[in-house]
A and B are shown apart, each in its own frame.
Chain A
C-alpha cells in the first residue's frame, strides 16, 4: 500500500531501539501533568457525597472557610453553568442531586494542599437521603437490553444444545476492577483572558480540548491541553471524568492562578470509572470430537442509572470459533453507582474469560487436547459477519506456543503432578483483539535546521509512542531516526485521535506516513528550509471488506499448595500474531505488561462494594491488590511474523490490549489441571481450593 514502506529502505521500523524518552523517565525528569512548574498555584480538594442517592439540602462551610489559607469553597451554588452536552457524568456541580456515593458535590480551594484537605473535612453537608440499590445480579427483574447491543442470533442455539452429544453450560463471573494507573488522574487548570489551559493526565489532548470547549462554551482555539508524558491510563484516562471539569470550574473562580487537582488513590475508586463486573452464561454444543455445533454467551453487566456504559463482553464470541448456531446477548443492570468505563481490552478481556474456560471444560468433556480443540474449531471466515479475515494466525500462535512451552508431553489427567507439596498444572487459552483505526488525525512535517519536525497531538501513556512514531516517521521520510524531531502531547499540534482501543500507533503512524508522502511529493528529497506539508489519516476501503483482528495464545503453569490453597504462577508464555512489530523492545513490554495485568486479574483484583453504603470498601492499594514483582516469575512474550497487507500502510495491528486477553482463563485452566477444581469466578483465590 505504501511504496515508502515496502522498499528495502525500511530501517527504523522493526529495529530494537531504546525509548527516546528513556533517560528522562529513569531520572524522573519527564514532566507529568501535576509537575509543570507554574507560579503560585492553588490546591483543590474535592468534597464527595457520603450518601448514595438523594440531594444536598445545605452546606455548612463556616468552619472550613475559617481554616487559614482557604480561598473558597466551591459548590453547585457558585459553580459556573455548563452546557448540557448529553453526558451526565460531566455535569459537575450543576445541581444538588446525588447519584452515587463519592460523587463530587463541591471542593475546597486553598493556598496549600494541607489546608484544602483539612477544610474539606470541616464542611458539614446536610442531605435529603433516598433509598438506593447497588446490588448487581443476573436475577434482577429490571435488566434491560442496551440499544447498542441487540441480541445477535444465528441458527438455533437452543436446538443445538438439545441435540448435541456433548454440551457445556455454565456461568462464569468477573468482578468489578479498577484501572489504577500509577499516576493518579491529575490536572492543573489555568483560566486567563486568552482562555483555558489544562495540564492534564489524559489519553487524548484533543478530545479533552473539544469536550471542555463544548462544556464551557469556548471556541476550541481558546482551550489548550498539554500532556507530554502520562503515567498510564489503561482506559480510565480516555473519556473525560469529573475531576478535570471540577478543576476548570475552580480555576474560573480564580482567574490567572493555576489550580492543581490530583486525585488521591481512594478517590480514584469513586470518580474515574472501572470495569463493570460481568456474569456470563456460556453454552457450547459439540460433536464428540469437539467440533462446535453451537456457541452462546449471555452477558449481564452493570451501568450507572444516570449514564449508560456497556461492557461488550459478548464481542469476541462473534470472532473466535466456527459454529452454525450462535447466540450473543447483553443485559444491563442500572444501579446507583458511578459509571463504568473502558479498562484495558474492554469487552474482550472479560469476554474471553468465560468462553475460554468453557472451551477447556469442553476439551475435558471430549477428551480432546485443548490446543487441538481450538484448532478444530478454526473458522474460514469471521463467524458472525462472514467476512474474510485480513489475516488470522491463531493456529500458528497455538502451535508455536505449544512448542515453546513444552506442551506436547502434557498428561491431560488433572491432579497428577505434586512437587514439594504443590499441585502443578498447565493450561492454555486464546486471545483476540480487534484491529481498529480511529478517524480524525492530522500530522505535519516541516524541514528546518537540518531536521524533519514531525508534529501530531498524540499521547504516550507508556506505550512507546514517542519512540515508535519517530521510527515510523524516519522510514516514511527515508531518513535516519536522528534526523526526526517528534512533538506530541499538546493540543496546539495537529489533531490526533485518542490513545485507546489499541489504535494509537496505527492511526497516528498511518497519518504520519501520509504526511511524509505529501511532504516528499511537494518538496522532493532536498527540501528547502521551512518546507512543510500536512495530511490527514486516509480512508482504508479494506476496512469494509475484511475482518481485522490480532490473535494470540497464552500458556500458563500454575502451582496450588495442597494444604494452604496458595496459588502461584511460575510460568506464563504468550505468542501473538499482531501484524508487523514496529519496535520489538517496546512491543515486548506491551505484551508482558498486558499479561502481567491478566495475571493480576486472575489472582488479585476485586473491587468489593458494600451494598449498604454503595461504595468500594477496599479503595486503596493495600486492599485492592494488583500484581507485585514477586507474583511474576518466568514471563515470556513472543510473536510470529505476520504480514497483513490490508490493515494499514504499516501492516501493524494494535498491541496494547491483547496481552491481557485470555491470560486469566489460561491460569484458571492450569489450576484445574493442577487440582481438578474448576474455578468459574475471578479472582481465583485460596478459598476455591480449600472447600
Chain B
C-alpha cells in the first residue's frame, strides 16, 4: 500500500509517495538521499538514526514515514554546514567526540534535542527527584545521552563536547 505525503526536511519540501511500511529513516536515506541520519540497528536500540522531528529528538527507524506527513525533520546536515557548524558540532570536532563518525550525526541531533529538554525542565533517570529543576552536570549528560551507542567508545569525549556546547549556548 502506498501513500502520498509531504516531508519537510532541513527546510526543503519533498512530496513523496511511500510504501506505508517505509520508515522515516528509509524514506530519508533511500528515497531522498538524505544520508546524515544513519542506520545502526533499525530497531530503536542504537540512536544512530536520531533526527529532530518537529523539534524533538526521535529515532527515525521507529517512525513510519506515512505518519510524518507535513512534519518538519531536521538532520545533523540541517543543523550546520562545514564552515558554519552548530555549536554542538563544533564542540564534537574540538573535543574529538567521535572516531568513525557513524553514530555522530545521531549523537549531535540527540545532544541538541536533549539540551532543549533540559531547558524545558524535563526530568531524567539520572537519580534526581523528578520535580527538581534539572541541572546539567556530567552525570545528567551521560544519562540523557545513553540512548546513543558509540562502538568506537567516544563517550568520555562526547560528554566533554556536550558540556562545552552547553557553556557556549549559555
Mark A residues whose CB is within 8 Å of B: 18-19, 21-32, 34-35, 37, 112-114, 180-184, 229-232, 234, 262, 264-265, 461-464, 585-586, 588-590, 592-597, 600, 620-622, 626-633, 635
Contacts and interface: CB of A to CB of B under 8 A. Distances in A.
27 contacts: A18-B96, A22-B93, A23-B83, A25-B101, A26-B98, A27-B85, A28-B37, A28-B108, A112-B19, A182-B102, A183-B100, A183-B102, A229-B100, A265-B42, A462-B100, A588-B96, A589-B96, A589-B152, A589-B154, A590-B99, A621-B45, A627-B153, A629-B141, A629-B158, A630-B146, A632-B153, A635-B155
Contact of A621 (B43, B76, B105, B146): B43
A37 B31 CA distance: 10
Given A184-B40, A232-B102, A629-B145, A585 B96 contact: yes
Contacts of B149: 182, 621, 626, 628
B19 to A, nearest CB: 5
Contact of B153 (A37, A112, A597, A633): A597
A113 B25 CA distance: 12
Given A114-B21, A461-B100, A27 B82 contact: yes
Interface string B20-34: 011000100110010
B157 interface: yes
B151 A26 contact: no
Nearest to B92: A26
A102 B85 CA distance: 43
A635 B156 CA distance: 7
Contact of A182 (B36, B38, B92): B38
B53 interface: no
Most B CB contacts (10 A, CB to CB) among A31, A586, A592 go to: A592
B153 A596 contact: yes
A596 B94 contact: no
A633 B93 contact: no
A596 B81 CA distance: 30
A593 B156 CA distance: 9
A229 B153 contact: no
B77 interface: yes
Nearest to A32: B102
Contact of B45 (A265, A600, A631): A265
Contacts of B154: 589, 592-593, 596
Contacts of B89: 23, 26-27
Contacts of B96: 18-19, 585-586, 588-589
Contacts of B43: 265, 620-622
A180 B40 CA distance: 9
B75 interface: yes
B35 A633 contact: no
Most A CB contacts (10 A, CB to CB) among B41, B104, B156 go to: B156
B150 to A, nearest CB: 7
Nearest to A593: B153
A229 B149 CA distance: 19
Interface string B58-96: 000000000000000001110111110100011011101
Contacts of B148: 629
Contacts of B108: 26, 28
A265 B41 CA distance: 5
B77 A29 contact: yes
A230 B100 CA distance: 6
Given A182-B48, A592-B153, 12 more contacts: A23-B85, A26-B93, A26-B108, A182-B150, A183-B102, A231-B38, A232-B102, A589-B96, A629-B145, A629-B148, A629-B150, A632-B142
B145 A462 contact: no
Contacts of A180: 151
Contacts of A112: 19, 22, 30
